[in-house]
């Protein structure tokens, strides 16, 4: 007795769908980007590598008149040279992504924050649709807070490591400016802010050392104080007063204490 041959018969329509799916998967595989390989070398891949890991988030304002104008600027070669950012948040709260998190966006430029000098490689840039003279809209801040929650969680960026463009480049930049609600961000757990009661610092306290400990570059101390005032006091001014000393002492104590 001969063995009976068994076969699986599929309806023609289902068979066509399966064939179509296989063709689509083959096409997607063909279009997937290959890892960079030097044709001069033999490719012997190692698993010991990772992607760019940002450690800071830098906030900007666009100083333009509309989201569309900002999108055009961030995606083109403008008169001052090409610029970009990872995200743009509209005044209505809509979030746009322009550059993948793993890639360098041309948003920070020359500057320094603490020991970090290559800010483009070490940061995520977020542009806020704001002309620099208007209070930031609440829907925009609400969306920014959602975005900060996502980025700090997903990319393991410390929540304290959120700064303004002016903070890293005082004298050269002034965004997001004195109208930006840093205290509201701090209440949600983002960025540094004085905690508890402010007290007079002890004798011998060095405010410049504290300002540098917070992260500010001190090449131009007047500009650094101006940036500090915009961020922590929402005001103009380029000389330190007693309230500044109390704030700096409080911030320094947080940092030294690991807060």
| Residue at token pair 């007693």 | 242
Please identify which of the residues 127, 166, 197, 243 carries the catalytic annotation: 127
Bond prior to 176 in cis (omega within 30° of 0)? yes
In this structure, are residues 78 and 146 in contact, taking their beta carbons and an 8 Å threshold? no
In this structure, are residues 134 and 179 in contact, taking their beta carbons and an 8 Å threshold? yes
Within 10 Å of residue 9's Cβ, how many Cβ atoms? Answer: 6
Whether 127 is catalytic? yes
| Residue at token pair 């104080």 | 225
3-class SS of residue 61: strand
CA atoms of 20 and 141, how far apart (whole Å): 46
CA atoms of 113 and 56, how far apart (whole Å): 9
Within 10 Å of residue 179's Cβ, how many Cβ atoms? Answer: 14
3-class SS of residue 123: strand
Q: Which residues are catalytic?
A: 127
């Amino acid at each position: 007795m001969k063995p009976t041959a068994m076969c699986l018969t599929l309806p023609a329509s289902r068979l066509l769908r399966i064939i179509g799916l296989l063709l689509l998967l083959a096409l997607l595989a063909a279009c997937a980007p290959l890892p960079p390989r030097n044709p001069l070398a033999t490719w012997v891949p190692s698993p010991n590598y990772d992607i760019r890991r940002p450690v800071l988030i830098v906030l900007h304002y666009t100083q333009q008149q509309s989201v569309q104008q900002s999108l055009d600027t961030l995606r083109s070669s403008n008169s001052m040279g090409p610029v970009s950012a990872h995200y743009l948040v509209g005044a209505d709260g809509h979030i746009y992504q322009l550059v993948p998190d793993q890639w360098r966006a041309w948003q920070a430029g020359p500057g320094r924050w603490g020991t970090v000098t290559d800010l483009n490689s070490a940061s995520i840039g977020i542009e806020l649709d704001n002309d620099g003279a208007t209070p930031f809209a609440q829907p925009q801040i609400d969306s920014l807070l959602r975005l900060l929650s996502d980025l700090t969680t997903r990319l393991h960026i410390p929540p304290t490591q959120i700064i303004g463009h002016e903070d890293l480049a005082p004298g050269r930049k002034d965004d997001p400016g004195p109208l930006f609600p840093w205290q509201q961000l701090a209440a949600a757990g983002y960025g540094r802010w004085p905690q508890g009661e402010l007290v007079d610092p002890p004798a011998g306290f060095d405010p410049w050392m504290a300002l540098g400990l917070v992260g500010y570059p001190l090449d131009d101390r007047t500009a650094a104080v101006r940036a500090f005032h915009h961020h922590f006091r929402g005001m103009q001014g380029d000389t330190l007063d007693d309230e500044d000393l109390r704030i700096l002492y409080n911030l320094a104590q947080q940092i030294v204490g690991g807060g």
